[in-house]
């Protein structure tokens, strides 16, 4: 039987860090995937600022489950040396937060076919992996629209290329948004590689939805995962209302629905309640 432990991107509850802590506590979540802090991306936080944030988290009984970093979310034309320096900074922050997971991506390739860019992508991912050696952190690749690893086949390719040293973050909605069926197709291909998950669903027209409401087939997914003797961190990522930094995260084609809930707090609560319901159903089967 699996253990499912909830985390959240609390910057979707509020841009204000103190309010993020409040939102986590209100929803009974004790893990934060830290991404946006007081209106800034986590990679803009200084070490001294991180130490102060850590004090607040410790006082509230909340731990950082993963660094929600933007690593790998640049184009293949962009400067890789500067990006490695950013990686080193994020690793330093991870140490301060007592966190060993760093979420990352596998590069945009504007104007080029993904398969034609494979060697460049793997070279860059290899450099990122080398920069993390001996640091006690794990790079965790998320499937995301527009990057090399946006579909199940190329996510599996990354897993095979690096022998599982780069871990897999499974996101149902992101697969739906690139017309890759998350369950059973992507799940069957990747289920043995799943390290942790981002929790958001999507409708057939690619608008975002709470887990189990869209076409991601969350209950079936979690029923199968429950057969594994593993602990899965499940990071709630609502995307049900517009929030600071959304355009940068999702681009101009984002289909976040902005009128389903009266407030960001309500949208956040709905997303948290939905995955709790999914897990309850899956573990009762």
Long-range contacts of 244-251 (CB under 8 A, 24+ apart): 244/11, 244/15, 244/36, 244/39, 245/11, 245/35, 245/36, 245/41, 248/41, 250/145, 251/145, 251/146
- Confidence tier at 252 by pLDDT (50, 70, 90): low
pLDDT beyond 70 at 8: yes
pLDDT beyond 70 at 188: yes
Long-range contacts of 254-260 (CB under 8 A, 24+ apart): 255/177, 255/202, 255/205, 255/206, 255/207, 255/208, 256/207, 256/208, 257/207, 257/208, 257/209
CATH number at residue 8: 3.20.20.150
- Confidence tier at 228 by pLDDT (50, 70, 90): very high
pLDDT beyond 70 at 243: no
| Domain boundaries, position 67 | 3-283
Nearest-10 Cα torsion for 234, 104, 145, 182: -30
pLDDT beyond 70 at 250: no
What span, in angstroms and rounded, lies between the C-alpha atoms of 63 and 7? Answer: 9
pTM beyond 0.75: the answer is yes
What pLDDT, on the 0 to 100 scale, is given for residue 241?
A: 84
What pLDDT, on the 0 to 100 scale, is given for residue 260?
A: 76
What span, in angstroms and rounded, lies between the C-alpha atoms of 60 and 38? Answer: 18
Range 139-152 average pLDDT: 98
Question: Per residue in 92-121, pLDDT tens?
Answer: 999 999 999 999 999 999 999 999 999 999
What span, in angstroms and rounded, lies between the C-alpha atoms of 26 and 283? Answer: 24
What pLDDT, on the 0 to 100 scale, is given for residue 284?
A: 78
Q: Which residues, 6+ apart, have CB-to-CB distance to 150 below 8 Å?
A: 114, 143, 144, 174, 178, 180
pLDDT beyond 80 at 134: yes
Range 60-65 average pLDDT: 98
Range 149-162 average pLDDT: 98
The DSSP-derived string for 56-123 is HHHHHT-EEEEE---TT-SBTTS-HHHHHHHHHHHHHHHHHHT--EEEE---B-TTS-GGGGHHHHHH
What pLDDT, on the 0 to 100 scale, is given for residue 144?
A: 97
What pLDDT, on the 0 to 100 scale, is given for residue 55?
A: 98
The domain tally of the chain equals: 1
pLDDT > 70: what percent of the chain? 94
What span, in angstroms and rounded, lies between the C-alpha atoms of 195 and 207? Answer: 26
- Confidence tier at 276 by pLDDT (50, 70, 90): very high
What pLDDT, on the 0 to 100 scale, is given for residue 137?
A: 98
What pLDDT, on the 0 to 100 scale, is given for residue 36?
A: 97
Phi, psi (rounded to 5 degrees) for 128? -65, -40
pLDDT beyond 60 at 246: no
What span, in angstroms and rounded, lies between the C-alpha atoms of 124 and 128? Answer: 6
Cis previous bond, 149, omega within 30? no
What span, in angstroms and rounded, lies between the C-alpha atoms of 227 and 82? Answer: 43
Cross-strand partners of 37:
40
What pLDDT, on the 0 to 100 scale, is given for residue 4?
A: 98
Cα angle, residue 175 at apex, residues 174 and 176 outer, rounded to 5°: 90
């Amino acid at each position: 039987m699996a253990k499912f432990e909830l985390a959240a991107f609390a910057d979707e509850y509020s841009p204000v860090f103190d309010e993020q802590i409040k939102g986590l506590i209100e929803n009974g979540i004790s893990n934060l995937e830290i991404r946006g802090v007081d209106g800034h991306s986590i990679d803009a936080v200084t070490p001294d600022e991180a130490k102060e944030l850590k004090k607040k988290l410790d006082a509230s009984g909340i731990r950082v489950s993963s660094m929600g970093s933007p690593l790998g979310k640049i184009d293949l034309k962009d400067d890789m040396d500067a990006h490695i320096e950013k990686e080193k900074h994020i690793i330093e922050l991870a140490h301060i937060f007592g966190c060993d997971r760093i979420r990352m991506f596998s590069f945009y390739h504007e104007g080029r076919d993904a398969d034609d860019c494979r060697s460049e992508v793997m070279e860059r991912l290899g450099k990122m992996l080398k920069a993390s050696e001996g640091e006690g952190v794990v790079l965790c690749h998320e499937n995301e629209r527009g990057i090399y690893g946006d579909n199940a086949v190329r996510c599996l390719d990354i897993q095979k290329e690096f022998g599982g040293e780069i871990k897999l973050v499974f996101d149902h909605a992101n697969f739906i948004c690139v017309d890759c069926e998350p369950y059973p197709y992507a799940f069957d291909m990747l289920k043995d590689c799943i390290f942790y998950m981002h929790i958001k669903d999507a409708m057939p027209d690619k608008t975002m939805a709470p887990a189990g409401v869209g076409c991601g087939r969350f209950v079936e997914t979690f029923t199968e995962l429950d057969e594994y003797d593993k602990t899965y961190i499940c990071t709630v990522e609502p995307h049900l209302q517009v929030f600071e930094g959304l355009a940068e995260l999702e681009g101009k084609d984002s289909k976040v629905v902005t009128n389903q809930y009266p407030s960001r707090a309500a949208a956040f609560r709905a997303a948290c309640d939905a995955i709790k319901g999914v897990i309850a159903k899956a573990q009762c089967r």
